[in-house]
Amino acid sequence: MALSLSNHLNPDWEKATDTELLALIDPARLPRHIAIIMDGNGRWANTRSLARVRGHSQGVESVRDTVRAAGELGMEVLTLYAFSMENWKRPQSEVSFLMRLLGKYLQNEVKELLDNNVRFDVIGRIGDLPDFVQQKAARLKKATENCTGLWLVLALSYGSQQEITDAVRTLAGKVATCELSPEQIDEETITRELYTRRWPDPDLLIRTSGEIRISNFLLWQIAYAEFHITPVLWPDFRRRDLYLAILDYQLRERRFGDAVDKSKVAGKKLRK
């Protein structure tokens, strides 16, 4: 993993317009998969003396603009950490609001995603979510299944430790039924049992709000991801912040422990 704080960026970029930043991005070196920890909704609301839930509502606009920008750039996958396993511990009133907000988003974004050729999916322990959220997620997934552009993946009721635990249980079951021997279990075998098995691993992990931690997100998958930490709170995050993160990423040499910058080498194909 490599880490960069946004205050290490080229100071000239801060003065540039969105159009000028976009022109600086090398389309041949785009990250195939960006994962974002969307942090800071509560702090955004607190600094404005608003209820915490207002921050979550405002964050929907950030999701919309980021998805549009990622699709326009031609990225393959955007994974957003929308609701973690730990989030269930929040006050019930806040959790209920988040579920209603999520349901509204899943229902209202059908046209937006179709218009932008975005294919939708979810990862996590989806069975933990209220039935109405599960149903709306399934409908949105079905409605966009023929889209061919960006994959938008929402991590819902997601925890990476839980994901790995589920994978280990599945593999243990296969060993118990002699479908698999312990000697056959390797990194690729484990990867095939993860929620994210159909997509390439993230090249770039963005965390908003300035916090420097992973928060149980894609622990297996980000082994070689580049990190970009921005102080921008998620409700204020817009396409220029995505552009800045990508420009930061394109400054890196991605060696993966080797002497070759493998970001210039074609990666694995999407799994069908």
List residues with catalytic annotation.
39, 87
- The CA distance from 123 to 138, in Å, is 12
Closest CA to 216 of 31, 30, 39, 33: 39
Residue 211 class from Cβ within 10 Å (0-12 exposed, 13-18 middle, 19+ buried)?
middle
121: alpha, beta or left, given left = phi > 0 and alpha = psi -120 to 50?
beta
- The CA distance from 174 to 189, in Å, is 11
Tokens, residue 163: 């994901």
- The CA distance from 90 to 154, in Å, is 19
- The CA distance from 185 to 237, in Å, is 41
